[in-house]
Amino acid sequence: MEERVKDEPVLFSVYIVLRLLVVLVMIFQLANGHYKNVFLCILTLIVFMMPSLIERRLKIDIPNTLEVIVLIFVFSAEILGEISAYYQRYTHWDTALHIVTGFLAAAVGFSLVDVLNRNSKNVNLSPFYLSFVAFCFSMTIAVLWEFLEFSLDMFFGMDTQKDTVIHTINTIALDKSMTNTVVSIRDIDSVVVNGRELGLGGYLDIGLIDTMKDMAVSFAGAVVFSVFGYFYVKGGSRGRFAKRFIPTKIREEE
C-alpha cells in the first residue's frame, strides 16, 4: 500500500476522495430511508475495487489515466447521475457520459487484440485492423447497453431511456387510406392522455431519440480512440496519448 501511494499519488488520492464521498452519500441516503440509493452506493464501492482486482488476477497493467477516468465516470454516472439527478438537471450529462463510454470501450477492445498481437509470434495484425476491432467492440458494448436499458424500462417499469419532448411526428399509423402514406403532424403544443392534459408543451417520444443520440455519441467516442489507437501502433506522437488508455499484459520478469 505504501509503495502504491508513493508511485501513484494522484490515483490513490482520487480513489480515497471518491470512496469517502460515496460513503457520506450512503449514510445520508440511509438516514432518509432511500434504500435503493444505498444499494447504488454499495454497488459503486464494489465497482471501485474492480480495476485493482483485475490487475492482480489477470496480470494486467491498467494505466493510471484510464483508472482515474473510470473511477470518476462511475461516480458521475451512479452518484451524481442517478442519486443527485444530474441526468434531469443537466441536459447533456448523459450525452457526455456516453461519449466517454464509447472512448473507453474502444480502448478496452483495442487492448484485447493488441495484447494478442504483441505477445504472439504467429499474429501480426495491421494498425487499421486493430483500430477497426476497437471500434466494433465499442459499438457492440453501446448496443448491448441500450438493450439493457430497454429491458429495464419494459420489464421493470424504469425510465433509463429518457423521454424527449418533440413538436413534430411523421407516421403511417394515422394513414386511413392504408397506402403506406406518411402523415405529418406539426407544431404540437399539447397532448391529452385519458382526458388529462399532460402539460408537456409537445409530444412525448418514449426513448427512441435518446437511444439514437446515445449511439451517435458512442460512435463519435469510438472513432476518436480508434484514430489514436492507429497512431499508437504506428508509433507516432499521437500514439503516446493512446498509451495512457490501453491496458497491457504484465510480463513475468516485471
Whole-number percent of the chain with pLDDT over 70: 94
Q: What is the pLDDT of residue 234?
A: 84
Q: What is the pLDDT of residue 29?
A: 96
> Which ranges of 165-234 does DSSP label H, i.e. alpha helix?
208-234
Q: What is the distance of C-alpha 217 from the center of its chain?
A: 10
Q: What is the pLDDT of residue 115?
A: 83
Quote the cell numbers at residue 175: 394513414
| pLDDT, tens digit (0-9, with 9 covering 90-100), for 2-23 | 455 556 788 889 999 999 999 9
**DSSP codes, 136-156:** HHHHHHHHHHHHHHHHHHHHH
How high is the mean pLDDT of the chain?
89
Quote the cell numbers at residue 90: 443537466
- In a 13 Å sphere around the CA of 211, the CA atoms on its Cβ side amount to 17
| pLDDT, tens digit (0-9, with 9 covering 90-100), for 118-146 | 777 777 888 999 999 999 999 999 999 99
Q: Residue 84: how many CB atoms within 10 A of its CB?
A: 14
The mean per-residue pLDDT over the stretch 33-47 comes to 95
Quote the cell numbers at residue 66: 484510464
Contact 244, 252 (CB under 8 A): no
The H or E element that residue 62 is part of is none
Judged by average pLDDT, the poorest of 88-92, 138-142, 167-171 is 88-92
In 105-148 the beta strands, taken as DSSP E runs, fall at: none
The identity of residue 186, as a single letter, is: R
Quote the cell numbers at residue 74: 462511475
Q: Which residue has the cell 439493457?
A: 148
Confidence of residue 88 (pLDDT cuts 50, 70, 90): confident
Exposed (0-12), middle (13-18) or buried (19+): which is 166, by Cβ within 10 Å?
Answer: middle
- Kindly report the pTM of this predicted structure: 0.85
Q: What is the pLDDT of residue 137?
A: 95
Contact 250, 118 (CB under 8 A): no
* Bridge partner residues of 248 (DSSP): 61
The mean per-residue pLDDT over the stretch 109-118 comes to 86
The identity of residue 68, as a single letter, is: V
Q: What is the pLDDT of residue 7?
A: 63
The identity of residue 147, as a single letter, is: F
Task: Kindly list the distances between the CA atom of residue 27 and the CA atoms of 24, 30, 76, 90, 120, in Å, as whole numbers in the listed order.
Answer: 5, 5, 18, 25, 50
